A and B are shown apart, each in its own frame.
Chain A
Amino acid sequence: MAFGPHLLLAALEGLVTSAVLALTALGLSLVFGVMRVVNVAHGEFFMLGAVLAWAITTAISGHPSLGFLAALVLAPLIVGLIALVAERLVLRRLNYNPEATIVATIGMLYIIQQLALTFYGPEARPVEPPFSYRILLPWFGYSGYKLSIIAASALLLVATWFVLTRTKIGLVMRATQYDSETAQAFGIPVTRVYAGVFALGAMLAAVAAVLIVPISQAHYLMGQDPLLLSFIVVIIGGLGSLRGTVVAAVLIGLSDGIISVFFSPTLAKIIATLLVAMVLVFRPQGLFGTASR
C-alpha cells in the first residue's frame, strides 16, 4: 500500500481510538478533578456499558438501529444508577479518603467483573451496528459506522463541555472542584454533587462502550485496556483538566493508530507509557494541569 492511503488508514484508526478514549478518560478525569477520587473501577463501568448494550439489543427485536438507540440511552442510565449506588454504599462511607477509595475501587473492579462473568458469561458476544455502510475508498474499504463513532463522540464531548461551562450544574461542579469546603460554606450540597459527578463519570465510560461495542464485541474482561489508556491520557493531560484530557486523548489515539499501523501495536503502547514517565518526571501536573495549591 502506498504511503498516502496507508497514513489515511492509520489516521482513521487513530481517530476512532481517540474518540472512544476521550469519552472514557473524560469520565475518569471528571471524577478525579471534582472528587479527588482515583476510580480504578472505571474500566468496569465501561465493560458494563458494553454488556448492557448487548442485553438491550438482544431484548429488542426489529431493525438493529432501534435496539442500538435504546442501548445508547438506557445502558448509560443503568450504569449511572449502579455508580450512584456504589458511591452511596462505598465511597461516601469512606469519606472520599484518597487512599481508601483506591483500595475500595479495586474491590469494586473485581466484584463487577466477577458478577459479569457469573451472569453474562465468559463469551464475547457481538452487537449489531445500527447501520453497516461500507465507505469505498480507492485503496481500501472502511466502515461507515466507525466514522460515525468519531462524530458521535465529538457531539458528546461538546455537550459535556457545554454542561460544565454554561449551566448552573456545571458551575456547582466547578465550584466544588475549586474548593469544596468554601463551596459547602456557600450552601452547595457537596455530597450530592459528588454523587452526581461519580454517576456522570461512569455514564461517560458506558456511552463510550456502547459506541465501540458494535465493532469490538462485549466481553467481561474488556475493561482493562480502556482503564490503562484512560490513566495514561489523564496523567498526560493533567489530572482534572478537561481540555488536557481531550487533547491527550487525541494525541495518544492518533499516535497509537499511526505507530501501530506503520510499526507494531506493542511499540505504540511502549511509547505511550514512556510518554507518561516523561510527563511525570518533567511536568508532574500534566500538560494542561495546574500545580496543586
Chain B
Amino acid sequence: MTDKNGFFDLSKTGLTRRTALKGLAAGAGLAVAPGFVRYSQAQSSAPIKIGFQSHRTGIGAAYGRWYEKTTAAAVKAINDAGGINGRPVEVIIEDDGTDPGRGAEVVGKFATQHKTDIVYGTLFSHVVIGSAPAAGEAKMPYFVVSEGHHVASTKLNRYVFQPGITDVKSQIQAMAPWIAANAGKKVTQIFPDFAFGYDHRDYLPPALKAQGAEVIAQIAIPPTESSFTKYFPQIPAETEVIYHVMVGPAVLTFVKELGEFYGSNRPQLFGFIDSLEATDINSPGLEFLDGSHFWEGSPRYAQPDDSAAQKAYRAAVGIDDNGAAVGDPKDVSTAAHMFGCWETLYVVKKAMEDAGYKGPEDRAKLVEATEALTEFAEGPEHPQGPKTFNGKIHQCFGIQNISKVEGGRLNVVHKTKIEDGLYEPEGDYTTQPL
C-alpha cells in the first residue's frame, strides 16, 4: 500500500503556501458577502416572497412534488385574482432533503439570503420540529402543512402556524368512535418510529379507551425500513383491527407484505392514507385491501357529493377523478394532504390583508393578524371543508373523511364533525413575546 504515484503528496501538485493563502482569502471574501443579490427596500409593487421549504429529495420526495404542484396552482389563482394587497406572490423553493438539520439551514437561508416574507410548506414533522427554532430566532412567520400535533402542543414558538390542515391528535379523537363502533375493539398499531408516529402512539390509546376499545400492541418501524415481514409476527393473534400509518418510499412494500402475510384471512384494517399516499391502490398485490378503511384529509377519488369548490380545486391542481395527474394515470397525487397547501396560502393572504402587510418589518403584525382569525368558511379558498382556527395554539380544526376501498377506488363512508376533534388547548402561544 504505497503511494507510488504521489496522489496524496501535496508538494507535488504545485500548491504553494502563497496560492493556498490567496485561495483562503478569496473564500473568506465570498463567505462574508451579503447574499447573491442586494435587494432594495421593497416597493409597493414588489412581489411578496414566500419561501417554500420543500421535500424535493429524501423520504418525503413524493409529497414534496405534489406540494409544489398544489402551491404553484394556488399562487397562480391568487395572482390571477390580483395577488395579495395588490402585490404579486413569488414562491422561492429550497430543498430540505426531508432532513431536520438541513431544514433549519433552509429557514436561515430564506431569512438572510432570499429575505422572504414568510417560510411555508413543510410536511414531515421532524423537519418542522428541527426548523421551528430557526424560524423563531429569525422572527420569521413559519406556516407548516404538517398534520403533526407539534404546533398545537404549544412546544414550538409563536412564529409557527398550522392553519391549513388538522393535527393528528384532533384527527384521532374525531375518528376513534367510528373505529371502535365499526372496526373492532382490540387494536394493534403500526407506526413510523419518529415524531409523526409518536403522535399516533400517544393519542390513539386514550382516544380509543374513551370509546371502550383498547390498543393491545404498538409496533414502531423506522421510516427508512425497506422490508416489513419481520415485524408482523409481533401482531397479537387476538387483534381485531390493525391501525397502520406508514410514510416514506417503501409504503407500497409495507402494504404488499401485509397482504402476503395475511391474505384474505386478515383482521380489519384501518389505515391512514399516508401508508399509500402517491401510490395507486390498484397496484398488483393490494387486492387484499378491498373492504378496508382509510383516513383521508381530502378524498383522493372524486365523490358524488363534491362541492363546486372541490371540483374547481381539483381542476386547478390538475388531478383527475382518480386523484392522479391529468394525462398520467400512474402519477398518483398526495390528495389527502396537499389541499393543506392551497388552504394555507389563502390563510396567509387573508392574514396579510388584515394586517395591511407591507414588508418584513410587519412580520409581527402578520403573526397577530393570523392569531386573530377564527373561522374559514368552505368555498374556493377552503375546498376541503369549513374549519375553525384557535389562535392560541395556532392550529385549525376541520372535518375528516373515512373512506372504504371498494371496486378499486376509495369511497367516503363517514365524515366527522369539527366538534368531534376539538380538545382542551395545552398552552397559549399569544403569551410569548413577539
Contacts and interface: CB of A to CB of B under 8 A. Distances in A.
A134 B288 CA distance: 12
A43 B78 CA distance: 46
A49 interface: no
B249 interface: yes
Contacts of B62: 122-124
B194 interface: no
B260 A134 contact: yes
A99 B7 contact: yes
A10 interface: yes
A263 to B, nearest CB: 10
Contacts of A140: 232-233, 261-262
A117 B57 contact: yes
Nearest to A5: B233
Contacts of A9: 229-230, 233
Contacts of A61: none
Contacts of B250: 124, 216-217
A201 B70 CA distance: 44
Count chain B CB atoms within 10 A of each CB in A132, A141, A260 and give the residue with the most. Answer: A141
Q: Which 6 A-B pairs have the closest CB atoms?
A: A124-B249, A122-B61, A100-B7, A261-B230, A122-B57, A1-B233
A265 interface: yes
Contact of A216 (B1, B5, B237, B253): B253
A136 B264 CA distance: 11
A265 B230 CA distance: 9
A94 interface: yes
Interface size of B as a range: 35 or more
Contacts of A117: 57
A265 B263 CA distance: 24
Nearest to B220: A264
Interface of B: 1, 3-5, 7-8, 56-58, 61-62, 64-65, 222, 225-227, 229-230, 232-233, 237, 249-250, 252-253, 256-257, 260-263, 278, 283-285
Contacts of B232: 140
B327 to A, nearest CB: 17
B55 to A, nearest CB: 9
B206 to A, nearest CB: 26
A10 B230 contact: yes
A179 interface: no
A265 B233 contact: no
B284 A97 contact: no
Interface string A188-222: 00000000000000000000000000011101001
A98 interface: yes
A122 B7 CA distance: 35
Interface string A137-150: 00011110000000
B284 A132 contact: yes
Contacts of B262: 140-141
B8 A99 contact: yes
Contacts of B64: 122
B173 to A, nearest CB: 30
Contacts of A266: 222
Contacts of B233: 1, 6, 9, 140, 261
A286 interface: no
A264 to B, nearest CB: 9
A13 interface: yes
A97 B249 contact: no
